[in-house]
Amino acid sequence: MAKLSKKDYAQRLKSLEIELNKLHRWLQHTGKRLLVIVEGRDTAGKGGVISAISDCLNPRSCHVVALPKPSDRERGQWYFQRYVPHLPAAGEIVLFDRSWYNRAGVERVMGYCSDAEYKAFLKQVPVFEKMLVDDGMLVFKYWLSVDQQFQEERFAERAEDPLKRWKLSPIDLKSREKYKEYGDARDKMFSASHTKHAPWTVVDFNDQKIGRLTLIEDLLHRVKDKDVPMEPLDFPPLSHEPLREKFAGPVKPLKSVKV
């Protein structure tokens, strides 16, 4: 596969960002709710594509949810309960960086849930998601696919880069030897939760730039007739010359760095 240059990627992403803003305006105009679930293997690129979507949108109504491990109290709740408060309200977009599907992936493979809890999840998840869809929520689920060769390269990159080292957890390191087990768990998850009302979409993320563009294009194509005219802004000229900001008092601005 040919590599996409940074310039071409930036240009194509820019045009998609304009369409994402149209989608966001449409949601606010219609009161629709959009939930995007992003799942995949470690290092697949979940955070990158979520940032590509959310960075150009209003953070007041576009929310990224990446929950930490559950507390003792949350472990005693109905499994889906901790996720419900984060679902979108009217006009909002919520992007789950991992979701309730943790139970079918890392919890199953690493032994963090019992067989009974796992089986209950597979039985309940299509029912739970149908309730969301029947209530009018738009639910799109993406699995980011990455071959082990590229996964290993990204693990090594994170280990060497001090700005990416935080992305490596002890669980990530343990999971390196369980590539096949994660694949088997994914297939069982798909069998139970790939439904007509909330199907899965697999996106190749061996090349992360192309993967991001592919996913965003697919997301935009799922919502038709999303054009909502932008209201014109009345932007009258100032009645005086522009003023410089001045400070009178004990607080002074920092000196700018030399360039």
Q: pLDDT tens for residues 91-119?
A: 999 999 999 999 999 999 999 999 999 99
pLDDT at position 2 over 80: no
User: What total of structural domains would you count in the chain?
Assistant: 1
DSSP secondary structure letters along 41-102: STTSSHHHHHHHHHTTS-TTTEEEE---SPPHHHHTS-GGGGTGGGS--TT-EEEEES-GGG
| Residue 224, pLDDT score | 81
| Residue 1, pLDDT score | 57
Three-state secondary-structure class, residue 187: helix
* Structural domain span for residue 20: 6-221
Residue 196 located in a structural domain: yes
| Mean pLDDT on 41-68 | 96
Q: How confident is the model at residue 166 (pLDDT cuts 50, 70, 90)?
A: confident
Residue 235 located in a structural domain: no
The helix (H) or strand (E) run that includes residue 247 is none
Three-state secondary-structure class, residue 143: strand
Residue 1 located in a structural domain: no
| Residue 167, pLDDT score | 85
Residue 208 located in a structural domain: yes
The helix (H) or strand (E) run that includes residue 202 is strand 200-204
| Residue 149, pLDDT score | 95
Q: How confident is the model at residue 128 (pLDDT cuts 50, 70, 90)?
A: very high
pLDDT at position 6 over 70: yes
The CATH code of the domain that includes 77 is: 3.40.50.300
Residue 151 located in a structural domain: yes
| Residue 13, pLDDT score | 97
At a CB cut-off of 8 Å and minimum separation 6, what does 138 contact? 32, 33, 34, 35, 222, 223
HSE-up of residue 231 (Cα within 13 Å, Cβ side): 5
| Mean pLDDT on 148-153 | 93
Residue 227 located in a structural domain: no
Residue 259 located in a structural domain: no
Percent of the chain with pLDDT over 90: 81
pLDDT at position 199 over 80: yes
pLDDT at position 132 over 70: yes
Residue 257 located in a structural domain: no
User: Mean pLDDT over all residues of the chain?
Assistant: 94
